[in-house]
Amino acid sequence: MDFENIEYLQHGNDRQRQAYSVLSNNQILSKLKQFDPILAGTLPINIDIEDSDLDIICCFADKQKFQKAIKDNFSNEKKFTIRELSSSNPLAIVVNFFVDGFKIEIFGQSIPTKQQLAYRYLIVEHNLLNKHGEKFRQQIIKLKRQGHKTEPAFASALNLTGDPYIELLKFEVANKSPFH
């Protein structure tokens, strides 16, 4: 599955097709092209719920250049906010706004997008959903509707103990095994 190209959304469910239209018609990813954007989160893997946002991860080398590009392209959108997460290591810039009924969240760090946690979770969760099937997917959605965040929902469904964020990344190593 190539998550770097959103063409796959055109063949998905109604919400995925709507997201494709919104992202394409508003040129959101093309406006972010220089920052290697990837749509991550729950929508690409079909576990989004009604209030899920479109999570777009980006990589920047120059914080000011990234912030300027964001403001130039999106500051006129509904409920636009931009903030720095200094608690994140490295620092992250989080942008939120609404376009055509979708809440968009852009998350930028100075880490290549495919090395960011959001992408790594996307791949792990995609593989787990493929392995465990539709009943498992429905269980994740049910847990999310009950208020669980995505990674804790997976941990609960898999009966994992300990920190769900750490435990889920252990599947990343397992998936790289030639014996899997």
- Predicted TM-score (pTM) of the model is 0.93
Confidence of residue 173 (pLDDT cuts 50, 70, 90): low
Question: What is the token pair recorded at 137?
Answer: 């997917």
In angstroms, the CA 155 to CA 168 distance is: 7
Pick the closest to residue 15 from 118, 81, 103 (CA basis).
103
| C-alpha to C-alpha distances, 163 to 103, 122, 168, nearest whole angstrom | 28, 17, 9
Tell me the per-residue pLDDT of 108-165, one tens digit each, with 9 for 90 and over: 999 999 999 999 999 999 999 999 999 999 999 999 999 999 999 999 999 999 999 9
Q: CATH number for the 6-112 domain, one of 1.20.970.10, 3.30.460.10, 3.20.20.70, 3.40.50.720?
A: 3.30.460.10
Where are the domain boundaries for CATH 3.30.460.10 in the chain? 6-112
Contact 106, 32 (CB under 8 A): yes
CA distance 117 to 121: 6
- Tens digit of pLDDT for each residue in 23-41? 999 999 999 999 999 999 9
